[in-house]
A = this chain, B = another copy of it.
Amino acid sequence: MAKRSGEKHQIILDAAVKTFSRSGYHRTRVSDIAREAGVADGTVYLYFNNKEDILISLFQNIMNIFVEELKAELSHRKNANEKLDAIIGYHLRTLGNKPEQARVTQIELRQIDKNINQGISGPLLSYFQLIEEVIEEGKNQALYRQELDTRTARKVIFGAIDEVVTCWIMSSKPYQLIDLKKPVYELLVQGLQ
């Protein structure tokens, strides 16, 4: 039963990714999601409190997997440089492989109310923390300069990757997102040193 519930929960989330990505959050009707998921409108409300809740859950869902997988990737790497490389690579590869998810994360998510941003910032913070830990590690390993402001460096790193993804999403995608890994990495790693 629980499993079944879980399944339908996921089916609706998957349908939401598709419809949000296709039409945008505000132009998507709950009934669109329901139709895409093959359930009745009312059923959506058995699994989510409201429309916004779907978007938040969606993001949390994505980000949890994202952070978890990323952590696994990082565990193989020895030093901060390798880890930074892994972060950039994983970020670009993951969103490059799932443009629909990427659009929701990059564009639609930013349309929600001020107040509800808590639901978003939570999962994001884990990611931010991960990045900051790598920067700190780099400083400890004397790979990055000591005066580096970790917080700011994290913003620069995340902002850079994020923008690269956004540009790709908004474009007609004439290149592979992952191809930008090397230039982005080199720029950032040199900046950190």
Give chain A's interface residues, CB within 8 Å of chain B.
24, 26-27, 107, 110-111, 113-114, 117, 121, 148-149, 152-153, 155-156, 158-164, 166-167, 170, 180, 183-184, 186-193
Q: How many copies does the complex hold?
A: 4
Given contacts A152-B180, A156-B188, A187-B191, list 7 more A-B pairs with CB under 8 A: A148-B183, A153-B187, A155-B167, A158-B163, A159-B159, A160-B163, A186-B191
Q: Secondary structure at chain A's binding surface: helix, strand, loop or mixed?
A: helix
A166's nearest neighbour on chain B, judged by CB, is B159
Evaluate contact between B170 and A152: CB separation under 8 angstroms.
Answer: no
A113 to chain B, nearest CB (A): 6
For residue A158, which residues in chain B have a CB less than 8 angstroms away from its CB? Answer: 163
A182 to chain B, nearest CB (A): 9
Given known contacts A159-B159, A187-B192, A192-B187, A110 and B110 CB-to-CB distance under 8 angstroms: yes
A153 to B156, CA, bound (A): 12
Given known contacts A162-B163, A170-B117, A156 and B110 CB-to-CB distance under 8 angstroms: no
A143 to chain B, nearest CB (A): 14
For residue A110, which residues in chain B have a CB less than 8 angstroms away from its CB? Answer: 107, 110-111
Evaluate contact between A26 and B26: CB separation under 8 angstroms.
Answer: yes
Evaluate contact between A114 and B159: CB separation under 8 angstroms.
Answer: no
Evaluate contact between A26 and B161: CB separation under 8 angstroms.
Answer: no
B27, B153, B161: which contacts A113 (Cβ < 8 A)? B27
Evaluate contact between B167 and A163: CB separation under 8 angstroms.
Answer: no
A-B pairs with lowest CB-CB distance, top 3: A159-B163, A191-B191, A156-B160
B163, B188, B190: which contacts A193 (Cβ < 8 A)? B190
